[in-house]
Protein backbone atom coordinates (compact mmCIF):
# COMPACT_ATOMS: atom_id res chain seq x y z
CA UNK A 1 0.00 0.00 0.00
CA UNK A 2 1.18 3.53 -0.76
CA UNK A 3 -0.23 6.53 1.11
CA UNK A 4 0.53 9.94 -0.35
CA UNK A 5 3.19 12.11 1.30
CA UNK A 6 2.25 15.74 0.69
CA UNK A 7 3.46 19.20 1.57
CA UNK A 8 1.45 22.17 2.78
CA UNK A 9 1.27 23.52 -0.79
CA UNK A 10 -0.68 20.40 -1.89
CA UNK A 11 -3.68 21.23 0.31
CA UNK A 12 -5.54 23.23 -2.36
CA UNK A 13 -5.46 20.32 -4.83
CA UNK A 14 -6.54 17.91 -2.07
CA UNK A 15 -9.58 20.12 -1.35
CA UNK A 16 -10.44 20.36 -5.06
CA UNK A 17 -10.60 16.56 -5.24
CA UNK A 18 -13.10 16.54 -2.36
CA UNK A 19 -15.31 19.12 -4.06
CA UNK A 20 -15.26 17.19 -7.35
CA UNK A 21 -16.53 14.04 -5.64
CA UNK A 22 -19.51 16.00 -4.31
CA UNK A 23 -20.37 17.46 -7.72
CA UNK A 24 -20.33 14.03 -9.38
CA UNK A 25 -22.77 12.68 -6.78
CA UNK A 26 -25.20 15.58 -7.39
CA UNK A 27 -25.64 14.63 -11.04
CA UNK A 28 -26.37 10.99 -10.20
CA UNK A 29 -28.81 11.76 -7.42
CA UNK A 30 -31.04 14.37 -9.06
CA UNK A 31 -33.01 11.92 -11.32
CA UNK A 32 -33.65 9.68 -8.30
CA UNK A 33 -35.11 12.59 -6.33
CA UNK A 34 -37.29 13.63 -9.28
CA UNK A 35 -38.63 10.08 -9.68
CA UNK A 36 -39.62 9.76 -6.01
CA UNK A 37 -41.33 13.15 -6.08
CA UNK A 38 -43.27 12.23 -9.23
CA UNK A 39 -44.12 8.56 -8.56
CA UNK A 40 -43.99 8.17 -4.77
CA UNK A 41 -44.08 4.59 -3.51
CA UNK A 42 -43.75 3.10 -6.99
CA UNK A 43 -40.37 4.75 -7.50
CA UNK A 44 -39.35 4.13 -3.91
CA UNK A 45 -40.06 0.41 -4.17
CA UNK A 46 -38.32 0.21 -7.55
CA UNK A 47 -35.13 1.73 -6.14
CA UNK A 48 -35.36 -0.22 -2.88
CA UNK A 49 -35.66 -3.51 -4.77
CA UNK A 50 -32.70 -2.54 -6.95
CA UNK A 51 -30.37 -1.34 -4.20
CA UNK A 52 -31.80 -2.29 -0.79
CA UNK A 53 -32.65 -6.01 -1.31
CA UNK A 54 -36.31 -5.25 -0.69
CA UNK A 55 -37.78 -7.90 -3.02
CA UNK A 56 -40.61 -9.73 -1.26
CA UNK A 57 -40.52 -7.49 1.83
CA UNK A 58 -42.68 -4.63 3.05
CA UNK A 59 -41.21 -1.14 3.04
CA UNK A 60 -42.00 -0.76 6.74
CA UNK A 61 -40.47 -3.10 9.28
CA UNK A 62 -43.22 -4.60 11.44
CA UNK A 63 -43.40 -4.08 15.19
CA UNK A 64 -43.11 -7.86 15.60
CA UNK A 65 -39.80 -7.95 13.69
CA UNK A 66 -38.43 -5.26 15.97
CA UNK A 67 -39.65 -7.01 19.12
CA UNK A 68 -38.28 -10.37 17.96
CA UNK A 69 -34.88 -8.83 17.18
CA UNK A 70 -34.73 -7.23 20.62
CA UNK A 71 -35.68 -10.51 22.32
CA UNK A 72 -33.01 -12.45 20.42
CA UNK A 73 -30.21 -9.91 20.92
CA UNK A 74 -27.05 -11.22 22.55
CA UNK A 75 -27.11 -10.07 26.21
CA UNK A 76 -23.56 -8.72 26.11
CA UNK A 77 -24.34 -6.64 23.02
CA UNK A 78 -27.61 -5.48 24.57
CA UNK A 79 -25.72 -4.28 27.63
CA UNK A 80 -23.18 -2.41 25.46
CA UNK A 81 -26.01 -0.70 23.56
CA UNK A 82 -27.70 0.30 26.81
CA UNK A 83 -24.48 1.74 28.28
CA UNK A 84 -23.84 3.75 25.11
CA UNK A 85 -27.48 4.92 25.10
CA UNK A 86 -27.21 6.07 28.71
CA UNK A 87 -24.10 8.15 27.99
CA UNK A 88 -25.55 9.67 24.81
CA UNK A 89 -28.79 10.54 26.63
CA UNK A 90 -26.91 12.05 29.57
CA UNK A 91 -24.85 14.32 27.30
CA UNK A 92 -27.94 15.37 25.30
CA UNK A 93 -29.75 16.25 28.52
CA UNK A 94 -26.79 18.40 29.59
CA UNK A 95 -26.85 20.23 26.24
CA UNK A 96 -30.58 20.92 26.28
CA UNK A 97 -31.40 24.62 26.70
CA UNK A 98 -33.93 25.66 29.33
CA UNK A 99 -36.84 28.03 29.41
CA UNK A 100 -36.32 31.33 31.21
CA UNK A 101 -37.41 34.92 31.50
CA UNK A 102 -35.18 37.93 32.25
CA UNK A 103 -35.97 41.47 33.36
CA UNK A 104 -34.16 43.89 31.04
CA UNK A 105 -32.90 47.31 32.17
CA UNK A 106 -35.94 48.86 30.45
CA UNK A 107 -38.24 46.81 32.69
CA UNK A 108 -39.52 44.65 29.82
CA UNK A 109 -39.49 40.93 30.55
CA UNK A 110 -37.81 38.95 27.76
CA UNK A 111 -37.59 35.19 27.67
CA UNK A 112 -37.42 32.02 25.67
CA UNK A 113 -39.58 28.95 25.26
CA UNK A 114 -38.07 25.64 24.11
CA UNK A 115 -40.20 23.51 21.78
CA UNK A 116 -39.40 20.35 19.78
CA UNK A 117 -39.61 20.12 16.00
CA UNK A 118 -42.87 18.25 15.15
CA UNK A 119 -41.28 15.45 13.14
CA UNK A 120 -37.80 14.25 12.18
CA UNK A 121 -36.42 11.61 9.87
CA UNK A 122 -33.35 9.76 11.13
CA UNK A 123 -31.16 8.23 8.44
CA UNK A 124 -29.15 5.19 9.57
CA UNK A 125 -26.57 3.89 7.05
CA UNK A 126 -26.63 0.17 6.37
CA UNK A 127 -24.51 -0.30 3.28
CA UNK A 128 -21.14 -1.90 3.91
CA UNK A 129 -21.84 -2.27 7.63
CA UNK A 130 -24.94 -1.98 9.82
CA UNK A 131 -24.61 1.05 12.08
CA UNK A 132 -26.94 0.73 15.07
CA UNK A 133 -24.70 3.29 16.78
CA UNK A 134 -26.03 5.90 14.35
CA UNK A 135 -29.58 4.99 15.32
CA UNK A 136 -28.62 5.76 18.93
CA UNK A 137 -26.97 9.03 17.95
CA UNK A 138 -29.87 10.33 15.85
CA UNK A 139 -32.87 9.03 17.80
CA UNK A 140 -31.84 9.66 21.42
CA UNK A 141 -31.37 13.46 21.06
CA UNK A 142 -34.78 13.57 19.34
CA UNK A 143 -36.30 11.75 22.31
CA UNK A 144 -34.57 14.08 24.77
CA UNK A 145 -35.91 17.06 22.80
CA UNK A 146 -39.43 15.59 22.95
CA UNK A 147 -39.95 15.22 19.19
CA UNK A 148 -43.41 13.62 18.87
CA UNK A 149 -42.86 11.82 15.56
CA UNK A 150 -39.60 10.02 14.71
CA UNK A 151 -39.15 8.17 11.40
CA UNK A 152 -36.13 5.92 10.80
CA UNK A 153 -34.89 4.86 7.36
CA UNK A 154 -32.11 2.31 6.91
CA UNK A 155 -31.21 0.11 3.91
CA UNK A 156 -31.14 -3.62 4.65
CA UNK A 157 -31.41 -3.02 8.42
CA UNK A 158 -29.55 -5.72 10.34
CA UNK A 159 -31.08 -7.51 13.30
CA UNK A 160 -28.90 -5.40 15.61
CA UNK A 161 -30.32 -2.21 14.12
CA UNK A 162 -33.87 -3.49 14.60
CA UNK A 163 -33.08 -4.53 18.17
CA UNK A 164 -31.60 -1.11 18.92
CA UNK A 165 -34.79 0.54 17.71
CA UNK A 166 -36.69 -1.81 20.02
CA UNK A 167 -34.49 -0.93 23.00
CA UNK A 168 -35.34 2.74 22.35
CA UNK A 169 -39.06 1.92 21.99
CA UNK A 170 -39.15 3.16 18.39
CA UNK A 171 -41.01 1.16 15.73
CA UNK A 172 -41.48 3.51 12.76
CA UNK A 173 -38.64 2.05 10.72
CA UNK A 174 -38.41 1.60 6.95
CA UNK A 175 -35.99 -0.68 5.10
CA UNK A 176 -34.95 1.87 2.46
CA UNK A 177 -31.79 3.91 2.11
CA UNK A 178 -29.80 6.10 -0.22
CA UNK A 179 -31.03 9.18 -2.05
CA UNK A 180 -34.49 7.63 -2.50
CA UNK A 181 -34.99 7.38 1.28
CA UNK A 182 -34.01 11.03 1.72
CA UNK A 183 -36.44 12.04 -1.06
CA UNK A 184 -39.24 9.96 0.48
CA UNK A 185 -38.87 11.67 3.86
CA UNK A 186 -38.60 15.09 2.21
CA UNK A 187 -41.68 14.83 -0.04
CA UNK A 188 -43.68 12.10 1.68
CA UNK A 189 -45.08 9.06 -0.14
CA UNK A 190 -48.07 6.82 0.40
CA UNK A 191 -46.08 4.81 2.94
CA UNK A 192 -43.52 7.22 4.39
CA UNK A 193 -44.84 10.46 5.88
CA UNK A 194 -43.18 13.76 5.11
CA UNK A 195 -40.96 15.00 7.94
CA UNK A 196 -39.94 18.49 8.97
CA UNK A 197 -36.20 17.75 9.27
CA UNK A 198 -33.80 15.00 8.19
CA UNK A 199 -30.74 14.13 10.24
CA UNK A 200 -28.00 11.55 9.98
CA UNK A 201 -24.88 10.69 7.97
CA UNK A 202 -24.52 8.69 4.78
CA UNK A 203 -22.43 8.13 1.70
CA UNK A 204 -21.78 10.73 -0.98
CA UNK A 205 -25.21 10.10 -2.57
CA UNK A 206 -27.09 10.54 0.70
CA UNK A 207 -25.15 13.76 1.31
CA UNK A 208 -25.94 15.00 -2.19
CA UNK A 209 -29.65 14.24 -1.74
CA UNK A 210 -29.75 16.15 1.54
CA UNK A 211 -28.01 19.11 -0.05
CA UNK A 212 -30.31 19.18 -3.09
CA UNK A 213 -33.44 18.86 -0.92
CA UNK A 214 -32.42 21.37 1.74
CA UNK A 215 -34.87 23.89 0.30
CA UNK A 216 -37.72 21.38 0.62
CA UNK A 217 -36.93 19.98 4.06
CA UNK A 218 -34.67 21.13 6.88
CA UNK A 219 -31.45 19.16 7.32
CA UNK A 220 -28.80 18.94 10.01
CA UNK A 221 -25.80 19.18 7.71
CA UNK A 222 -24.37 17.57 4.58
CA UNK A 223 -22.59 14.62 6.18
CA UNK A 224 -20.87 12.58 3.49
CA UNK A 225 -17.91 10.19 3.60
CA UNK A 226 -16.17 10.25 6.96
CA UNK A 227 -12.94 12.17 7.63
CA UNK A 228 -10.16 12.04 10.21
CA UNK A 229 -7.19 14.31 10.75
CA UNK A 230 -4.51 13.38 13.30
CA UNK A 231 -2.01 16.06 14.33
CA UNK A 232 1.07 14.67 16.06
CA UNK A 233 4.72 15.63 16.16
CA UNK A 234 5.61 12.64 18.32
CA UNK A 235 3.85 9.63 19.72
CA UNK A 236 3.10 5.98 19.10
CA UNK A 237 2.97 5.35 15.33
CA UNK A 238 0.94 2.15 15.86
CA UNK A 239 -1.78 4.10 17.67
CA UNK A 240 -1.90 6.75 14.96
CA UNK A 241 -2.05 4.12 12.21
CA UNK A 242 -4.84 2.29 14.05
CA UNK A 243 -6.93 5.47 14.25
CA UNK A 244 -6.41 6.18 10.56
CA UNK A 245 -7.42 2.64 9.60
CA UNK A 246 -10.49 2.86 11.85
CA UNK A 247 -11.75 5.73 9.70
CA UNK A 248 -10.60 4.26 6.39
CA UNK A 249 -12.52 1.00 6.88
CA UNK A 250 -15.84 2.89 6.93
CA UNK A 251 -15.94 3.61 3.22
CA UNK A 252 -13.65 3.47 0.16
CA UNK A 253 -14.17 7.25 -0.06
CA UNK A 254 -13.30 7.97 3.58
CA UNK A 255 -10.40 10.31 4.21
CA UNK A 256 -7.68 9.67 6.83
CA UNK A 257 -4.90 12.22 7.21
CA UNK A 258 -1.85 12.68 9.40
CA UNK A 259 -0.30 16.13 9.79
CA UNK A 260 3.16 16.19 11.33
CA UNK A 261 6.44 18.08 11.40
CA UNK A 262 8.30 14.83 12.06
CA UNK A 263 9.50 13.05 8.91
CA UNK A 264 10.55 10.00 10.95
CA UNK A 265 7.09 9.69 12.50
CA UNK A 266 5.54 10.00 9.04
CA UNK A 267 7.61 7.05 7.80
CA UNK A 268 6.83 5.00 10.91
CA UNK A 269 3.10 5.58 10.53
CA UNK A 270 3.23 4.67 6.84
CA UNK A 271 4.95 1.39 7.72
CA UNK A 272 2.53 0.70 10.59
CA UNK A 273 -0.41 1.15 8.25
CA UNK A 274 0.85 -1.60 5.97
CA UNK A 275 1.57 -3.99 8.85
CA UNK A 276 -1.84 -3.48 10.52
CA UNK A 277 -3.71 -3.95 7.25
CA UNK A 278 -2.28 -7.45 6.81
CA UNK A 279 -4.60 -9.13 9.32
CA UNK A 280 -7.66 -6.90 9.02
CA UNK A 281 -10.97 -8.25 7.72
CA UNK A 282 -11.80 -4.84 6.23
CA UNK A 283 -8.33 -4.38 4.69
CA UNK A 284 -9.52 -4.07 1.08
CA UNK A 285 -11.83 -1.15 1.86
CA UNK A 286 -9.33 0.53 4.18
CA UNK A 287 -6.48 0.15 1.70
CA UNK A 288 -8.52 1.66 -1.15
CA UNK A 289 -9.54 4.56 1.07
CA UNK A 290 -6.00 5.26 2.27
CA UNK A 291 -4.51 5.07 -1.22
CA UNK A 292 -7.11 7.26 -2.92
CA UNK A 293 -8.14 9.72 -0.23
CA UNK A 294 -5.60 9.37 2.56
CA UNK A 295 -2.49 11.49 3.00
CA UNK A 296 0.39 12.35 5.30
CA UNK A 297 1.15 16.07 5.25
CA UNK A 298 4.66 17.14 6.27
CA UNK A 299 4.58 20.71 7.59
CA UNK A 300 7.19 23.05 9.02
CA UNK A 301 5.59 24.15 12.28
CA UNK A 302 2.74 23.72 14.72
CA UNK A 303 1.17 26.93 13.41
CA UNK A 304 1.29 25.59 9.86
CA UNK A 305 -0.37 22.39 11.08
CA UNK A 306 -3.15 24.40 12.72
CA UNK A 307 -3.63 26.51 9.60
CA UNK A 308 -3.97 23.36 7.50
CA UNK A 309 -6.50 21.87 9.95
CA UNK A 310 -8.61 25.03 9.79
CA UNK A 311 -8.47 24.93 5.99
CA UNK A 312 -9.50 21.26 5.86
CA UNK A 313 -12.20 21.75 8.57
CA UNK A 314 -12.22 18.00 9.32
CA UNK A 315 -15.08 15.97 10.73
CA UNK A 316 -12.86 14.32 13.37
CA UNK A 317 -9.65 15.87 14.70
CA UNK A 318 -7.22 14.06 16.99
CA UNK A 319 -4.76 16.43 18.68
CA UNK A 320 -2.00 14.52 20.42
CA UNK A 321 -0.99 17.84 22.00
CA UNK A 322 -4.19 19.08 23.70
CA UNK A 323 -2.81 22.63 24.03
CA UNK A 324 -3.26 23.02 20.26
CA UNK A 325 -7.04 23.26 20.69
CA UNK A 326 -6.70 27.01 21.27
CA UNK A 327 -5.45 27.29 17.66
CA UNK A 328 -8.35 25.37 16.11
CA UNK A 329 -11.49 27.09 14.81
CA UNK A 330 -12.86 24.51 12.34
CA UNK A 331 -13.53 20.91 13.35
CA UNK A 332 -16.59 18.76 13.94
CA UNK A 333 -15.24 17.07 17.08
CA UNK A 334 -11.82 17.20 18.74
CA UNK A 335 -10.22 14.27 20.55
CA UNK A 336 -7.63 15.54 23.00
CA UNK A 337 -4.48 13.59 23.85
CA UNK A 338 -3.09 10.29 22.54
CA UNK A 339 -5.46 8.16 24.67
CA UNK A 340 -8.56 9.72 23.08
CA UNK A 341 -9.21 7.36 20.19
CA UNK A 342 -11.86 8.55 17.78
CA UNK A 343 -13.62 5.20 18.29
CA UNK A 344 -14.68 6.38 21.76
CA UNK A 345 -16.73 9.12 20.14
CA UNK A 346 -18.15 6.79 17.51
CA UNK A 347 -19.85 4.64 20.10
CA UNK A 348 -20.16 5.47 23.73
CA UNK A 349 -18.41 8.57 25.12
CA UNK A 350 -21.57 10.70 24.93
CA UNK A 351 -21.11 13.50 22.35
CA UNK A 352 -22.74 12.82 19.00
CA UNK A 353 -20.90 11.06 16.18
CA UNK A 354 -23.00 12.68 13.44
CA UNK A 355 -20.60 15.43 12.41
CA UNK A 356 -20.14 17.86 9.51
CA UNK A 357 -17.96 16.67 6.63
CA UNK A 358 -16.66 18.13 3.39
CA UNK A 359 -15.60 21.39 5.05
CA UNK A 360 -19.00 22.06 6.65
CA UNK A 361 -17.28 22.27 10.05
CA UNK A 362 -16.39 25.83 9.03
CA UNK A 363 -19.97 26.85 9.78
CA UNK A 364 -21.48 24.31 12.20
CA UNK A 365 -20.71 21.68 14.77
CA UNK A 366 -22.00 18.16 15.20
CA UNK A 367 -25.54 16.94 15.71
CA UNK A 368 -26.95 17.73 19.14
CA UNK A 369 -30.24 18.05 20.95
CA UNK A 370 -30.30 21.67 19.69
CA UNK A 371 -30.94 20.36 16.14
CA UNK A 372 -34.32 19.03 17.27
CA UNK A 373 -35.48 22.13 19.13
CA UNK A 374 -36.85 25.59 18.39
CA UNK A 375 -36.19 28.59 20.62
CA UNK A 376 -39.27 30.85 20.73
CA UNK A 377 -38.61 34.23 22.28
CA UNK A 378 -41.16 36.04 24.46
CA UNK A 379 -41.70 39.72 25.35
CA UNK A 380 -43.84 40.82 28.30
CA UNK A 381 -44.31 44.58 28.67
CA UNK A 382 -45.82 46.71 31.44
CA UNK A 383 -46.97 50.33 31.41
CA UNK A 384 -43.74 51.50 32.99
CA UNK A 385 -41.50 49.52 30.61
CA UNK A 386 -43.41 50.80 27.55
CA UNK A 387 -43.01 54.34 28.85
CA UNK A 388 -39.24 53.74 29.14
CA UNK A 389 -38.79 52.26 25.68
CA UNK A 390 -41.48 53.93 23.57
CA UNK A 391 -39.41 57.01 22.61
CA UNK A 392 -36.62 54.81 21.30
CA UNK A 393 -39.00 52.60 19.33
CA UNK A 394 -40.91 55.57 17.88
CA UNK A 395 -37.72 57.36 16.85
CA UNK A 396 -36.36 54.27 15.07
CA UNK A 397 -39.72 53.55 13.40
CA UNK A 398 -40.03 57.07 12.01
CA UNK A 399 -36.41 56.95 10.82
CA UNK A 400 -37.50 54.00 8.67
CA UNK A 401 -40.63 55.80 7.48
CA UNK A 402 -42.99 53.46 9.38
CA UNK A 403 -45.35 55.87 11.13
CA UNK A 404 -47.79 53.09 12.02
CA UNK A 405 -45.13 51.32 14.06
CA UNK A 406 -44.45 54.49 16.03
CA UNK A 407 -48.12 55.15 16.73
CA UNK A 408 -48.74 51.51 17.81
CA UNK A 409 -46.42 51.98 20.77
CA UNK A 410 -47.26 55.62 21.50
CA UNK A 411 -51.01 54.91 21.73
CA UNK A 412 -50.30 52.83 24.84
CA UNK A 413 -48.75 55.74 26.76
Question: Which residues neighbour 411 within 8 Å (Cβ) at sequence distance 6 or greater?
Answer: none
Nearest to 357 by CA among 234, 191, 158, 211: 211
| Gap between the Cα atoms of 152 and 134, Å rounded | 11
Is residue 250 flagged as an active site residue? no
Is 33 strand, coil or helix?
helix
| Gap between the Cα atoms of 231 and 105, Å rounded | 47
Is residue 180 flagged as an active site residue? no
| Gap between the Cα atoms of 257 and 265, Å rounded | 13
Catalytic residue among 65, 170, 249, 316: 316
Q: What angle do CA 148, 131, 365 make, to 5 degrees?
A: 65
| Gap between the Cα atoms of 182 and 311, Å rounded | 29
Alpha helices in 131-197 (DSSP H): 132-145, 159-167, 178-187
| Gap between the Cα atoms of 158 and 130, Å rounded | 6
User: Is 48 in contact with 175 (CB distance < 8 Å)?
Assistant: yes
Catalytic residue among 65, 227, 315, 342: 315
Residues annotated as part of the active site: 315-316
Amino acid sequence: MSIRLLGRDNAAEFLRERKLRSQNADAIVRPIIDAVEARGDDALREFAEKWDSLAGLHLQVSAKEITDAKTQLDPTLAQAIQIAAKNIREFAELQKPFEMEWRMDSGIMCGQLVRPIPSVGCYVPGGLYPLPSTLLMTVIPAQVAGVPKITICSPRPAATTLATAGLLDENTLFRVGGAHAIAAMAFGTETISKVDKIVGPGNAYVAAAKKLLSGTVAIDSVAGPTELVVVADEGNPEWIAADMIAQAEHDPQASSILITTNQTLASQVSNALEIQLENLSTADIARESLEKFGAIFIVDSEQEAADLVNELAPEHLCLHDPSMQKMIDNAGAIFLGPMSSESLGDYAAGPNHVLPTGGAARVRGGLSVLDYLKIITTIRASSDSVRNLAPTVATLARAEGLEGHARAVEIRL
